């Protein structure tokens, strides 16, 4: 677990805050990268926000926009007595959240394809929005299989 820091940065270069088991060196593998996947865990959050389905929908919408992604659809579900699961379907992939208000915890995935998107910005926004005191962030590069690396797709 890390203390809040500027590590949740909007720089899509991934050079200063890289976590994970993949090399961070600038090499040929970057040519094959199809997306960036951030796995964010938020701790000591505002428990009321974690249980507020409307707030979560608004936060996912804002996170999609700030990441430079195109929001296609959203689905959320509020559990009884507490907790919310949400999925923002993006043209570029997805943002998902699962909350445990009783533990003041949220598990979030932000996966975006394309070089123009900035999932780190979405993570930073969600960290602030839920009032987290601490977080854990893992950044992964998704690499394209040989069969699809040269395909051109429009969102």
Give the active site residue among 62, 113, 123, 136: 113
59 flagged as catalytic: no
Q: Ramachandran region of residue 14, left (φ > 0), alpha (ψ -120 to 50) or beta?
A: left
Instruction: Say how many residues make up the chain.
Output: 155
Q: Are 63 and 95 in contact (CB under 8 A)?
A: yes
Give the whole-angstrom CA distance, residue 59 versus residue 63: 6
Which SS3 state, helix, strand or coil, does residue 39 take? strand
Give the active site residue among 93, 94, 96, 103: 93
Give the active site residue among 7, 94, 98, 103: 98
Pull the structure tokens for residue 37.
């996947």
* Long-range pairs of 98-101 with CB within 8 A, sequence gap ≥ 24: 99/45, 99/50, 99/51, 99/56, 100/50, 101/47, 101/48, 101/50, 101/51
98 flagged as catalytic: yes
Residues annotated as catalytic are: 93, 98, 113
């Amino acid at each position: 677990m890390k203390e809040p820091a500027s590590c949740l940065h909007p720089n899509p270069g991934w050079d200063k805050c890289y976590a994970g088991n993949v090399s961070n060196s600038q090499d040929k593998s970057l040519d094959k990268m199809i997306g960036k996947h951030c796995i964010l865990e938020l701790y000591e959050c505002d428990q009321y926000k974690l249980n507020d389905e409307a707030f979560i929908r608004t936060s996912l919408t804002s996170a999609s926009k700030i990441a430079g992604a195109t929001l296609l659809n959203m689905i959320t579900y509020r559990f009884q007595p507490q907790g919310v699961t949400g999925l923002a379907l993006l043209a570029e992939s997805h943002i998902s959240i699962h909350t445990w208000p009783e533990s003041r915890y949220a598990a979030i995935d932000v996966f975006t394809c394309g070089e123009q998107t900035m999932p780190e910005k979405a993570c930073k926004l969600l960290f602030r929005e839920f009032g987290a005191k601490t977080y854990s962030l893992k950044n992964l590069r998704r690499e394209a299989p040989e069969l699809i690396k040269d395909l051109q797709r429009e969102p």
